[in-house]
Amino acid sequence: MKNYTQHYTFPTSYDAILEQLDGIKPALYARTRNFVDGSVTYLSPYISRGVISCRQVLNHVLKKDHKPWQIEKFIQELAWREYFQRTWQQLGDGIWDDIKRPQPDVVHHRMVDAVAAASTSINAIDEHIQLLFDKGYMHNHVRMYVASITCNIAKAHWLVPSKWLYYHLLDGDIASNTCSWQWVAGAFATKKYYCNQDNVNRYTYSEQKDTFLDKEYPALVNMPVPPQLEASSELTLHTPLPQTALPAIDISKPTFIYNNYNLDPQWHSHEDGNRILLLEPSHFEKYPVSKQVIDFILALGKNILGLQVYTGEMSAIAKLYPNSETANEQIVSKENPVYSHYTGKREERDWMFPEVVKPYSSFFAFWKKCAPYLKEYTGNQ
Ligand SMILES: Cc1cc2nc3c(=O)[nH]c(=O)nc-3n(C[C@H](O)[C@H](O)[C@H](O)COP(=O)(O)OP(=O)(O)OC[C@H]3O[C@@H](n4cnc5c(N)ncnc54)[C@H](O)[C@@H]3O)c2cc1C
């Protein structure tokens, strides 16, 4: 194991997670983030699961004595997440279609076998796919390599492979995952993203030669699918959900609903109420995740005092109240496009730039609108 993979173990206690915020080194981050051993934060599993928010991370960084230019790149990366979340809010289920233009040059809508089996023949990539299976995390640059090999070299449509990656990621997030795959595949961008062997070697510290990626870029773009990547299959994924009883609730009190995207221990923590981690089989049927991911979610749930885990549908929770009016009054959740069918009140997520909500044609158009607010936060320096 290389040194950096020590970070691929994700503690689940809230104190340990907050401690990790202190390890953020924004200036070093900007210089090294593209290397597999770069100074990245490993916070995405906690941000995606709603344990902490980007806003919380931003506030933490702003409290430290950094110069604005030292933190800008890091904040920009956090803003990518927010941009993708806003894109999802605006598009709804439209996020599952090619967003900007049809992905060019597609030969099938299946999973590439060699990628799923960590046997692409590009050693560094195969090693990182195996790490994904073992640890549930993959470095951002490697995610780009894997998506590029799958969609642009093997010419698979992005949708099925994106579900494969989402299944394994502790930080699996519908917006970041779907938009990023589309971006690499040229469906949410005006061009496709390509990497060659020199690029992979540089950022993964490998020295492999004579592979299907060992070419200049124009040759890569025009290359037929290499034999190693030709085989493809349908994807069958299953979520092993725990079996639970219907939760016991006090109907005179509110019920706070937690889920795979909201595991925030501070949310309404000073209020008396029922707390339910709702794992809807209908959700996981559509968006399957691995046992490793379910175990991670359950472990994060332990930070929430009095949390009852329930594998079942929201409709069963609503029926615990005497009528739909009371259910609508008492059930509270956090807004998320995938849970728009929930009964009850929906509260805003903790946005970094709550004012920037309109659809923007590109990340940089969005970022331009965020800039004045960021200036306010950093004290107009
Ligand atoms: C094909 C592909 C699929 C992806 N799928 C997911 C996913 O399912 N869930 C997910 O959280 N991220 C996804 N990403 C984005 C990114 O790879 C991860 O957020 C990042 O690698 C997480 O590691 P980190 O926390 O150490 O990031 P750091 O580099 O330390 O970044 C700090 C935070 O900024 C945000 N961030 C950084 N880079 C990006 C980015 N490129 N896009 C959006 N937000 C970013 C994340 O919230 C991250 O936690 C995907 C990227 C690609 C290319």
Each of the 381 residues of the chain gets a pLDDT tens digit; together they read 478 898 999 999 999 999 999 999 999 999 999 999 999 999 999 999 999 999 999 999 999 988 878 899 999 999 999 999 999 999 999 999 999 999 999 999 999 999 999 999 999 999 999 999 999 999 999 999 999 999 999 999 999 999 999 999 999 999 999 999 999 999 999 999 999 999 999 999 999 999 999 999 999 999 999 999 999 999 999 999 999 999 999 999 999 999 999 999 999 999 999 999 999 999 999 999 999 999 999 999 999 999 999 999 999 999 999 999 999 999 999 999 999 999 999 999 999 999 999 888 899 999 999 999 988 888 754
With respect to residue 247, please indicate whether it lies within any of the assigned structural domains.
Answer: no
96, 126, 144 — which closes off a domain?
96
DSSP-assigned beta bridge partners for residue 332: 256, 345
- Read off the CATH number of the domain in which 65 is found: 1.25.40.80
Kindly report the backbone phi and psi dihedral angles of residue 86, in degrees, each rounded to the nearest multiple of 5, phi listed first: -65, -40
156 and 79 belong to one structural domain: no
Helix (H, G, I), strand (E, B) or coil at 84: helix
Distances (CA, A) of 189 to 22, 131, 175, 180: 35, 29, 15, 10
- Read off the CATH number of the domain in which 211 is found: 1.10.579.10
Which ipTM score applies to this complex?
A: 0.99
83 is in an annotated binding site: yes
72 and 117 belong to one structural domain: no
Whether 195 contacts 34, CB under 8 Å: no
Distances (CA, A) of 8 to 37, 50, 172, 293: 11, 19, 15, 14
177 and 226 belong to one structural domain: yes
Tell how far the Cα of 44 is from the centroid of ligand 1, in angstroms. Answer: 6
**327 Cβ closer than 6 Å to some ligand 1 atom:** no
CA–CA gap between residue 102 and residue 50 (Å, rounded): 32
19 and 126 belong to one structural domain: no
CA–CA gap between residue 137 and residue 119 (Å, rounded): 18
126 and 26 belong to one structural domain: no
302 and 200 belong to one structural domain: no
155 and 76 belong to one structural domain: no
50 is in an annotated binding site: no
Report which protein residue has its CA nearest ligand 1's atom 43. 81
96, 131, 158 — which closes off a domain?
96
Tell how far the Cα of 274 is from the centroid of ligand 1, in angstroms. Answer: 33
Q: How many domains does the chain have?
A: 3
**81 Cβ closer than 6 Å to some ligand 1 atom:** yes
Domain that holds residue 159: 111-233
**75 Cβ closer than 6 Å to some ligand 1 atom:** no
31 and 75 belong to one structural domain: yes
With respect to residue 39, please indicate whether it lies within any of the assigned structural domains.
Answer: yes
With respect to residue 324, please indicate whether it lies within any of the assigned structural domains.
Answer: yes
With respect to residue 244, please indicate whether it lies within any of the assigned structural domains.
Answer: no
202, 233, 264 — which closes off a domain?
233
126 and 71 belong to one structural domain: no
With respect to residue 81, please indicate whether it lies within any of the assigned structural domains.
Answer: yes
With respect to residue 299, please indicate whether it lies within any of the assigned structural domains.
Answer: yes
222 and 146 belong to one structural domain: yes
What is the structure's pLDDT at 381? 46
With respect to residue 357, please indicate whether it lies within any of the assigned structural domains.
Answer: no
What's the token pair of residue 356? 């920037």
260 and 225 belong to one structural domain: no
Say how many CA atoms lie within 13 Å of 329 toward its Cβ: 9
With respect to residue 102, please indicate whether it lies within any of the assigned structural domains.
Answer: no
Single-letter residue type at 28? L
Neighbour tally for 139: CB within 10 Å: 24
36 and 88 belong to one structural domain: yes
35 is in an annotated binding site: no
